[in-house]
Amino acid sequence: MRVRISYGVELDEVPSELKDLTIRSIIKLKQTVDVLEKNLETMVESDGDSNSLNLVNAKIDGARQEIANADAILNDVQSILGGLIDFYAGEEDVRDGRVSMDSARDSVTPEVVRE
């Protein structure tokens, strides 16, 4: 079962966190490819032995689950990266202009102040 874990990191640490998550996904994928390659040999050499084929079938199922796990990690990376892109795009908007408050701080004026 997949659960969401949420924690905060400093903005400048986000790329490093994304790198770590991506590496985890790459490792899972490489390990899965190794399992598939080994089981491909078993499947070819099985000569129709149902026990061997059942084992290969189970290994393929496990490999597919690991691929799905790696994909879920990459989905998280992509989501976080999208948020980071949006943040930096918003930061650019802030540099271009800000909505100003009146001196009484009672309301927001529609005027954009360029700095």
- HEC secondary structure over 21-83: HHHHHHHHHHHHHHHHHHHHHHHHHCCCCHHHHHHHHHHHHHHHHHHHHHHHHHHHHHHHHHH
Tokens 């597919």 correspond to what residue?
64
In 3D, which of 111, 88, 91 has the Cα closest to residue 100?
111
Q: What's the mean per-residue pLDDT of the chain?
A: 83
Q: How confident is the model at residue 96 (pLDDT cuts 50, 70, 90)?
A: low
Tokens 């199922």 correspond to what residue?
61
CB atoms within 10 A of CB 32: 19
Tokens 């992509």 correspond to what residue?
78
Evaluate whether 56 touches 42 at the Cβ level (below 8 Å): yes
Q: Model-level pTM greater than 0.85?
A: no
User: Which pLDDT score is estimated for 93?
Assistant: 62
Evaluate whether 52 touches 42 at the Cβ level (below 8 Å): yes
User: Which pLDDT score is estimated for 4?
Assistant: 79
Residue predicted with more confidence, 108 or 62: 62
